[in-house]
Structure 1
Amino acid sequence: MMNEQMYYDLPMTVTWGDCDAAGISYYAKNFDWFTDARFQFLEHYGFPYMEAFHNQGIYLVCLKAESDYQKMLKPLEKIIVKTSLVSLTRTRMTFSYKLIKENGEVAGEGLTRHAIVSPEGRPFNLQKKFPILWEKLVGCFGEGEI
């Protein structure tokens, strides 16, 4: 069972480079923000991605990515990307995201689902292949879904 939902708030400022010609954040940028926030989330809880996963031959390959647009964001707006791990199994991890404006309005929400694979792209059971990392992850986040 997953522990009570743990989250990380990544403060960001929308840049001109994040926006389209109309000066509104380009929807695909949400996925870049989600990636940055996911890496910071993992590092915050003691699992820096490159050290804990990638350099050990553990790749988190995105199987599904979705983003729901709710409010427009403009250059120089300050936002928070609130990130949570909502599912952890021996072969998958799922993260949820909220883009929150300074006034508390939710500008967007999203989700990414990742398979745990080898450098060759083969899925594997993290508990069997990396039991120490698995125990640390489960100790921090719990197992299953929230």
Structure 2
Amino acid sequence: MLKNEYKVTVRWGDTDAAGIVFYPNFYKWMDEATHEFFKTMGFPTTDLFTNKQMSIPLLETHCQFKSPLFFDDEICITTTVEIVKKKVFKATHLFTRGDQQIAEGYELRAWASFENGVKAIEIPEEIKQKMGE
């Protein structure tokens, strides 16, 4: 199974008044990690959209928090595509700080064409195969 690691350093603006990472940032980082996953795989989502009018809109997302993050923490988000169906895939994300698990979440995304509005389409076979490696 193909995995990708995306590293992030928590910035001051990522934290709330208590100095803890504000929870929507985990969703932002999951989104970034998914786009980085496709880039590393050789299919940057910016190219897919610009050249083929394809994108990967979110259908569902979830995150379970286990430990807080603070300013200047360095974290690693390990992304794996766990499920690949005809038009939909599920990317899982594991957040760690060193050996400590911080959070885990997932995104359920569709494969979509933006040529004539937005319409779910089959995931191209070459991409499906690459995701399942």
Residue 142 of structure 1: aligned partner: 132
* 1:21 Cα offset (Å): 0.5
How far off its partner does 1:125 sit?
2.4
**Deviation, structure 1 residue 65:** 0.6
* Letter in structure 2 aligned against 1:115: A
Kept in 1: contact 2:34–2:79 (CA 8 A): yes
* Cα distance in 2 between the residues matched to 1:10 and 1:125: 27
- 1:121 is aligned to 2:118: yes
* 1:36 partnered with 2:15: no
Q: Where do residues 1-146 of structure 1 align in structure 2 (5 Å cutoff)? A: 5-51=1-47, 53-55=48-50, 56-102=52-98, 104-119=99-114, 120-126=117-123, 134-142=124-132
Deviation of 1:142 (Å): 3.2
- Compute the displacement of 1:141 (Å): 2.7
| Unmatched runs of 5 consecutive residues or more in structure 2 | none
Q: Distance in 1 between matches of 2:131 and 2:113?
A: 22
TM-score for the superposition, normalised by structure 2: 0.91
Q: Which runs of 5+ in 1 are unaligned?
A: 127-133
Aligned residues: 130
Counterpart CA distance in 1 for 2:78 and 2:62 is: 15
Instruction: Tell me the alpha carbon deviations over residues 5-53 of structure 1, each in whole angstroms, 9 at most, x when there is no partner.
Output: 21111111111111111000011100111111111111111111111x2
CA RMSD of aligned residues (A): 1.5
